Chain A
Amino acid sequence: MTARRFSPRARARVPWVALVVVVGVALGVGANHPSAPTAPQREAAIDASLRCPSCEDISVADSSAPTAVAIRQLVATRVAAGQSDAQIDAFLVSRYGPGILLRPPVSGITAAVWIVPVVAMAAAGAGLAVVFWRRRRLETVSVAADDRRLVARALAEQAGGGPGPGRDTAPVP
């Protein structure tokens, strides 16, 4: 049995097809993800997103400090009462300040921290695309009729007993 051989053009399409399949599967999985998280899942997620006020840079979820225990209790009570994550965060920020959030909100000066890298990446990608496009354009050099004639003459001379392969040839002007 002989392996079927694909043309170079078909092979070049393989990564794109793979990319489309992966993105499609990811979107499908994302769309069919189980709906809203349960209350304990929400509590765990909120606890993990809050900084323990009396500790050094560990989350409320990871601390056994009295303040962390009290905040976990508060989160559980407020989740049970039907409050949204944003409402719970807002209450704690009103008591401890924005430093209580391990992930700062995307507003004001902190927005720059989130936006600048994305803009820089996009600019870098666009710059690279422009550079590659220009380089590709330069590769397709237009040849003047005189140049073509010169090359044809040189080739004819070579064919008619000129310098053979492996020997130095005079550069075509």
Chain B
Amino acid sequence: MSERALRRRHAARWVAGSALVIGVGLVVLLATRPPQAATEAYSPLVGHPAPAIVGTTVGGSSFDLDSLRGRWVVVNFFASWCPPCQQEEPELVTFAYEHRAPTDAALVGVVFDDSASGARGFLQGSGATWPAVVDPGGQVALDYGVRGPPETFLVAPDGTVAARIIGPVTSAYLDASLRQAEQAVA
């Protein structure tokens, strides 16, 4: 084998070795990365009346956000195709169960860029029992200034927006946000 061919083979080994190291490094980085977390974010709606949510749920019944006036309401924008929404869904189920008392905080879903059937299957699969309103055309999402799912809004008993949370929530995070919002209102 000529010296040139040997040199070329040597270089190819180096390139392959480097690519392997970079690939393994990326896999390790992605595998050990902490999951996306919920964060409270700016919204010009905070402190202002919550936009109306009037429509039909994925189950076919009618819904009006005003019917929940007097209770804290957690409005969650979600889609079945969104991985962070899939991540937070069991946490929302836990939250809904822990706040199942009739006067406790209520949970409402708003379907974001998803079909009613897709959203229905997603909710049934996770054991969700709260109403989820379909939003054809994304009008409700636009009224709330939603950029992408999941986004969650806390609506105070007087109907004003208390907080906007972006990213997948946990039951504990929602409880803490509610406590903080209740203290701010009191």
Nearest A residue to B145 via CB reads A95
Interface of B is mostly: loop
Q: In chain B between 38 and 53, which residues have their CB closer than 8 angstroms to a CB of chain A?
A: 42-45, 48
Contacts of B143 in A (CB 8 A): 95
Give the size of the chain A interface in residues (CB under 8 angstroms): 14
Bound: A93/B43 CA distance, A: 10
Interface string of B124-143 (1 = CB under 8 A from A): 00000000000001110111
Give chain B nearest CB distance to A46 CB in angstroms: 14
Which B residues lie within 8 Å of A69 (CB)? 138
Q: Are A66 and B147 in contact (CB under 8 A)?
A: no
- B44, B113, B146: which contacts A97 (Cβ < 8 A)? B44
Q: How far is the CA of A67 from the CA of B77 in the complex (A)?
A: 13
A70 and B142 contact, Cβ closer than 8 Å, known pairs A54-B147, A54-B148 = yes
How many B residues face the partner with a CB closer than 8 A? 18
Say yes or no: is A35 at the interface (Cβ < 8 Å to chain B): no
CB neighbours of A66 from chain B (8 A) = 112-113, 138, 141
**Chain A residues within 8 Å of B48, by CB:** 94
Are A70 and B139 in touch, CB under 8 angstroms?
Answer: yes
Interface residues of A in 85-123 (CB under 8 A from B): 93-97
A54-B147, A66-B112, A67-B146 given as contacts; is B42 within 8 A of A97 (CB)?
yes
Minimum distance in angstroms from B108 CB to a CB of chain A: 19
- A91 vs chain B, min Cβ distance (A): 10
Min Cβ gap B64→A in Å is: 20
For A129, list chain B residues within 8 Å (CB): none
Q: A53 contacts which chain B residues (CB < 8 A)? A: 145-147
A67 touches B141 (CB 8 A): yes
The reply to whether the CB of A73 lies closer than 8 angstroms to some CB of chain B is yes
Instruction: Pick 16 A–B contacts, CB within 8 A, sort by A.
Output: A53-B145, A53-B146, A54-B148, A66-B112, A67-B141, A67-B148, A69-B138, A70-B141, A70-B142, A71-B142, A74-B139, A94-B44, A94-B45, A95-B143, A96-B44, A97-B43
Residues of B at the A interface (CB closer than 8 Å) are 42-45, 48, 112-113, 137-139, 141-148
